[in-house]
Amino acid sequence: MEKKATTLIELVIALAIAAGIGAVTLVAFSLLDRRSLESSVRSLYVDLSWAKTQALVHQHNYLFVIDTANKSYKTGEDKDDNDTLSAAEEEKYKKLSCSIAVTPEATIRLRKLFGTSIDASGDPVDPPVQITLTRAGRSKQVNVISGTGFLEIQ
């Protein structure tokens, strides 16, 4: 009776193939995380630009409300100028695939003539609002410059 056994060379070749597949998979997942972060930053930037444009075109204030707990944001026209966004005023809602932080914590108000920011009490915020998105240890920042509504990605 012949005894079939795995030789050492066959075992080494199988382990090398498994290690190669594992390395390719690891690289693919790290690229996926980076692309997800970049996609979220682009989406945030585009929606902020959209709200700024809408404010100028329609001559109404637009709000950009960020919910850090739910990793989401919403934007819409502030029709009654009360610096809050009701369900009827909400035009866009987006859930992000990464963590989001805002410094200082503020609702971004894009005015019909220029952009500015207000804090939770309704007072103007002079420094730029920094929105930081984080995923898998990487982070990107979007700044909204008060007074102009200028947007900057870092």
pTM of the shown model: 0.71
The DSSP annotation for 65-125 comes to EEETTTTEEEEEE-TT-SS---TTTEEEEEE-SSEEEEES-EEEEE-SSSEEEEETTS-B-
- Which of 3 and 85 is assigned the larger pLDDT? 85
The pLDDT score that the predictor gives to residue 117 is: 56
- pLDDT tens digits for range 125-152: 556 788 888 888 888 988 887 666 778 8
- pLDDT tens digits for range 63-87: 888 888 888 888 888 888 787 788 8
Instruction: Evaluate if residue 18 carries a pLDDT over 90.
Output: yes
Nearest partner of 118 among 90, 78, 68, judged by Cα: 78
| Averaged pLDDT score across all residues of the chain | 81
User: Given strand 106-110, what is the order of strands in its sheet?
Assistant: 90-95, 72-77, 62-67, 106-110, 115-119
The pLDDT score that the predictor gives to residue 20 is: 92
- pLDDT tens digits for range 33-50: 778 888 889 998 998 888
Long-range interactions of 28-33: CB distance < 8 A, separation 24+: 30/136, 33/135, 33/136, 33/138
Instruction: Evaluate if residue 16 carries a pLDDT over 90.
Output: yes
The pLDDT score that the predictor gives to residue 112 is: 63
Q: Which residues lie below 8 Å from residue 78, measured CB to CB, with a gap of 6+?
A: 60, 61, 62, 63, 84, 85, 89, 109
Q: Which residues lie below 8 Å from residue 127, measured CB to CB, with a gap of 6+?
A: 104, 146
- pLDDT tens digits for range 22-36: 988 888 877 777 788
Query: Can you list the domains of the chain with their CATH numbers?
Result: 37-153 (3.55.40.10)
